[in-house]
Amino acid sequence: MRTPRHSSRYGRYSGGPDPLAPPVDLGEVLDAVTEDVMAGYSPDQALREFLRRGGRNQRGLDDLARQVHQRRRDLLSRHRLDGTVQEAKKLLDRALREERDQFLRDARMDPTDRQFREMRLDALPSSTAAAVTELSDYDWQSDAARRNYEQIKDLLGRELLEQRFAGMKNALQNATDEDRAAVSRMLEDLNELLEKHARGEDTPEDFERFMNRHGDQFPENPQDIDELIDALAQRSAAAQRMMRSMTPEQREELMALSAQAFGSPELMSQLDRLDAALQGLRPGLDWSGSEQFEGDQGLGLGDGTGVLQDLADLDALSEQLSQSYAGSTLSDLDVAALARQLGDDAAVAARTLTELERAMRNSGYLRRGTDGELRLSPRAMRKLGKSLLRDAAGRLSGRSGRRDTRLAGAAGEQTGSSRAWQFGDVEPWDVTRTVTNAVTRTAASGADPSAGLRIDVQDIEVRETEARTQAAVALLVDTSFSMALNGRWVPMKRTAIALHQLISTRFRGDALELITFGRYAQTMDIGELTALPAWHEQGTNLHHGLLLAQRFFRKHPTMHPVLLVVTDGEATAHLEPGGEAWFMYPPDPETLRLTVAQLDAVARRGTEITLFRLGDDPGLVRFIAALARRVRGRVVAPDPEDLDAAVLGEYMRSRSRNGSWGGSGDSFADDDA
């Protein structure tokens, strides 16, 4: 017996998010967010900015919003709203043509009657609505003409119902009188239910009873009366906006024609009653708006209402994609509506953005401070620092003329002996002694070492190293507005983060102080410096920065002092005895005198001083060179993008010389890194 063959078909997955899609990658998001934070954005703004731009292979909100705008513009430029009137006119013209043909074919027709009829048809008003009304009692001689005329009434009835109930136009095509009576009963029951609900007198049983009777006429399959009202009100509001979008002439013509719907004015009465009930129940919808249609494709009432609903969807999507309202998140985005309007690819892009936002907020990379603002978390700062340190170290070791730079952070040369580990030790473990201690302790406790070995803190021994002098490192960074204006703001922050990461992870015995100086100077932790926005602040108060550095060095009298200064300007401000900053450009001689005096005080502590000059302004070059010569310091003039590698290089150069910290040793040098 032959085994039946099975065939398989493959295609795009359309059941929601792709179950085989890779998980979202937060690396690119975090990189973009931290880059924008360093440029002065808040983390929340930076995350929103990424979601707007998108990533390398990810469409952003701006691209989706552009598509929404383009579709809206296409709908308005393609259509006009007189489709129903034009269709009625075609049916009327066909009926009149067939009636006149009947006059010519019927030789037995009384000549007087024919002449009278021809005169009546010739005297019809130019308005389609008026002509249809005029012919309401006309005795048609042609059966085909009569059918075309009756189709006008049928068309109007179906279009009016289609405005409020999607799909009704097709459902009632070739409808019988019984079908129309069923629709009339549904409208009566619906109006009674809505009015009862408005009074607060309805029950779930009332809704169930209504759906049992008329549920087949509601393809939306509402589960309760609120869902029913929402579906009906949105379409009814779109119908009202469509009427207001017509020209006065189109609107007047259509209203006159509507009286002929199904040949019964009762239909319009029921629909007016329905619209009034829905508007009272959902007043927050747009019932009075209008649109400017400029195309040449006529739309009937039903299709036109659908287009107005599409426009309402697009307007809501545009607002959701803008994320400009308070408390907005991408979870507000109606992905189903986006799929209807722009297709599945747009919906997938939106779902991915939503997942990125959710994952980023839940990842631990962002945390909300006591003031309610999002900030980069310590975890994010560690990840950023690790990345920047790795990048800077790679460029540092690849510099021309430099030997491989190792950032291992060893505490000193090993002596060959070991000692018990103490909290804060960074020396490497003596693995042999540690395992031996664990085995001895396990055996002494009576446990069987072969059953498994657990190392306890008391077992750990570390290899002793020669003592090495620790350093107190003060990094002074210029935060005057020229740093941001000339593209040096982000490189300055990268430098501080990389140095902080190096010292906090590899040289934990050293102390680092981050000091910013603009009009005033202040100490900051790495998180504050990373998030520091670029203010339009005049003044380069190196004097105040040096005062704070001197205070830091006094707190660490046993550590070797190291001063690293990053600036792109001459000293133009100083701190007066009362605590106010004095600013003047060109520099005031008093500012220069106080700055030099404070630098001398720092140098007298045996401080190792390196000045990083950003820029080639002649005044800046002379100023920095004079300071370096005075205190036997070093000048490095790196490209801003290479600033982090230059600072790390100077820190490691001083630290590695003779295996310890010593005096400056080198005379003044100006290195173009």
Q: Read off the pLDDT of residues 471-511 as tens digits, 9 standing for 90 and up.
A: 999 999 999 999 999 999 999 999 999 999 999 988 888 99
The mean pLDDT of the chain is 85
Cα separation, 637 vs 374, whole angstroms: 36
Cα separation, 171 vs 21, whole angstroms: 41
What's residue 459's pLDDT? 87
Q: Is 61 exposed, middle or buried (0-12, 13-18, 19+ CB in 10 A)?
A: buried
Residue 1 pLDDT grade (very low, low, confident, very high; cuts 50, 70, 90): very low
DSSP string, 19-32: TTSPPP-HHHHHHH
Residue 563 pLDDT grade (very low, low, confident, very high; cuts 50, 70, 90): very high
Asked whether residue 409 carries a pLDDT value surpassing 50, the answer given is: no
Q: Is 477 exposed, middle or buried (0-12, 13-18, 19+ CB in 10 A)?
A: buried
Residue 402 pLDDT grade (very low, low, confident, very high; cuts 50, 70, 90): very low
What is the rounded average pLDDT of the residues 362-384?
Answer: 79
What's residue 386's pLDDT? 86
DSSP string, 592-618: HHHHHHHHHHHHTTT-EEEEEE----H
pLDDT > 90 fraction of the chain, expressed in percent and rounded: 50
68-103 CB burial, b ≥16 within 10 A, e <16:
beebbeebbeebbbbbbbebbbebbebbbebbbebb
Among 278-287, 429-438, 544-553, 560-569, whose mean pLDDT is lowest? 429-438
What's residue 30's pLDDT? 85
What's residue 219's pLDDT? 83
pLDDT tens-digit series, residues 625-637: 999 999 999 999 9
Asked whether residue 22 carries a pLDDT value surpassing 80, the answer given is: no
What's residue 18's pLDDT? 53
What's residue 423's pLDDT? 64
Q: Please tell me whether the overall predicted TM-score, pTM, comes out greater than 0.95 for this model.
A: no
Asked whether residue 403 carries a pLDDT value surpassing 60, the answer given is: no
Asked whether residue 349 carries a pLDDT value surpassing 80, the answer given is: yes
Asked whether residue 464 carries a pLDDT value surpassing 70, the answer given is: no
What is the rounded average pLDDT of the residues 67-72?
Answer: 95
Pick from 44, 48, 38, 49: nearest CA to 527? 38
What's residue 435's pLDDT? 87
Higher per-residue confidence, 655 vs 48: 48
Q: Which domains does the chain have, with CATH numbers?
A: 26-79+325-376 (no CATH), 82-292 (no CATH), 414-465 (no CATH), 471-671 (3.40.50.410)
Pick from 80, 78, 73, 24: nearest CA to 318? 73
Asked whether residue 150 carries a pLDDT value surpassing 80, the answer given is: yes
Residue 9 pLDDT grade (very low, low, confident, very high; cuts 50, 70, 90): low
What is the rounded average pLDDT of the residues 360-365?
Answer: 83
pLDDT tens-digit series, residues 172-229: 887 788 888 888 899 999 999 999 999 999 999 999 999 999 988 888 889 999 999 9
Cα 362 versus chain centre, distance? 15
Cα separation, 274 vs 190, whole angstroms: 8
Residue 425 pLDDT grade (very low, low, confident, very high; cuts 50, 70, 90): low
Beta strand 511-517 with 670-671 is unpaired
What's residue 667's pLDDT? 34
What is the rounded average pLDDT of the residues 325-346?
Answer: 90
What is the rounded average pLDDT of the residues 278-290?
Answer: 92
Among 294-303, 577-586, 644-653, 655-664, whose mean pLDDT is lowest? 655-664
Mapped onto helix, strand or coil, the DSSP state of residue 562 is strand
Longest dimension (CA), the chain: 134
**Which residues share a beta bridge with 79?**
297
Asked whether residue 7 carries a pLDDT value surpassing 70, the answer given is: no
Residue 24 pLDDT grade (very low, low, confident, very high; cuts 50, 70, 90): low
Which residues have a Cβ under 8 Å from the Cβ of 403 and sit 6 or more positions away? none
Asked whether residue 14 carries a pLDDT value surpassing 70, the answer given is: no
660 DSSP assignment:
S
Asked whether residue 356 carries a pLDDT value surpassing 80, the answer given is: yes
What is the rounded average pLDDT of the residues 77-88?
Answer: 91
What's residue 635's pLDDT? 96
587 DSSP assignment:
P
